[in-house]
Structure 1
Amino acid sequence: MLDNLPRGTICIEDIEMGMTRHLRKVVTDEDIEMFAKVSTDHNPVHLDDDYARDTIFSGRIAHGMLTAGLISAVIGEQLPGHGTIYMGQTLKFLAPVRPGDTVTAEVEVVDIDHSKRRVKLDCRCLVDGKKVLMGEATVLAPSRKFD
């Protein structure tokens, strides 16, 4: 389940420091299974309850990149939105995301280079108010001058 949030484009000419956007999604078993299929990452810590119980996580967890993909969704759909080009992303995984967790993925504008159309975004994912992922993205924002 995703929150119904505005989607579209915020052009570089309209982006401001401190702008934020977010989405919330419940990570389901089906999400984890589909991600395993698409990514070909079938690590049993994600898919096998018996195996995962005996790991440091004491149970199954979602793929870290599945969680990180929610950041990509906020960037590609909301801020800046459609037409955005990813240039780079750093990620630090702080805690596991488990099936059934509601993840809030947030991005915040922390730097803008209008001449190069580059935007730097602080990125984070939270579960129950606790950071599970943090990082920074650099993107090329769309511009009305190139419509």
Structure 2
Amino acid sequence: MPYSYRPHHFEDFDIGQEFQSVGRTVTESDFVMHSAFSGDWTELHTNRHYAEDSMFEGRVAHGPMTFILATGFVYRCGFLERTVVAFLGMNYMNIPGPVKMEDTISLAMEVIEKKEFSSRDDAGLVVIDTTMTNQDDEVVFEGDMKFMVKTRD
């Protein structure tokens, strides 16, 4: 799957088209910044000693943080740069495994739907199915993301 840092308009997307992000290691700073921004200081995410006694045997990322990391990968790939109008939601989202401190994660993406809007001619719907894995190829996030993407002028 090719890395893509070229903005794509609605017309540039094809069903079955795939993208792959680079990897990224999750750090202490990520945990702290997410807790500070969200106000979620749950001990499972912020207290090493408490989390060591949990079923995860250590601190894990917040579920919303895992989703935010996935959206960050989509935007980092660049194909929506200056062409995305809006994030329209998701039909499904699963977090089947935890993201742990020092995990290196990446995101595989596939265009699964593309549809013109009947209400406007300056943008269309692009749905991208995503799967985020860690360094051991364990799935830690999956879901489809719906975007309104500009058409060419």
User: Is this a same-fold pair by TM over 0.5?
Assistant: yes
Normalised TM-score (structure 2): 0.83
- 1:6 deviation in Å? 4.5
Match of 2:121 in 1: none
Amino acid in the other structure paired with 1:45: L
Query: What secondary structure does 1:141 align onto?
Result: strand
Amino acid in the other structure paired with 1:36: S
Would the aligned equivalents of 1:70 and 1:105 in 2 still touch at CA under 8 Å?
no
Unaligned runs of 5+ in 1: none
Q: 1:14 to 1:6 in 2, by over 3 A?
A: closer
Match of 1:126 in 2: 133
Query: What secondary structure does 1:124 align onto?
Result: strand
Q: State the identity %.
A: 24
Q: 1:43 to 1:8 in 2, by over 3 A?
A: farther
Amino acid in the other structure paired with 2:146: T
Query: What secondary structure does 1:66 align onto?
Result: helix
Amino acid in the other structure paired with 2:30: D
- 1:74 deviation in Å? 3.2
Matching of residues 1-147 of structure 1 within 5 Å: 6-23=4-21, 24-77=23-76, 78-84=78-84, 85-89=86-90, 90-115=92-117, 117-127=124-134, 128-145=136-153
Amino acid in the other structure paired with 1:133: F
Amino acid in the other structure paired with 1:62: A
Query: What secondary structure does 2:100 align onto?
Result: coil
Unaligned runs of 5+ in 2: 119-123
**Counterpart-to-counterpart distance in 1, 2:30 and 2:116:** 37
Normalised TM-score (structure 1): 0.86
**Counterpart-to-counterpart distance in 1, 2:60 and 2:25:** 13
In the alignment of these two chains, the number of paired residues is 141
- 1:28 deviation in Å? 0.4
**Counterpart-to-counterpart distance in 1, 2:17 and 2:64:** 24
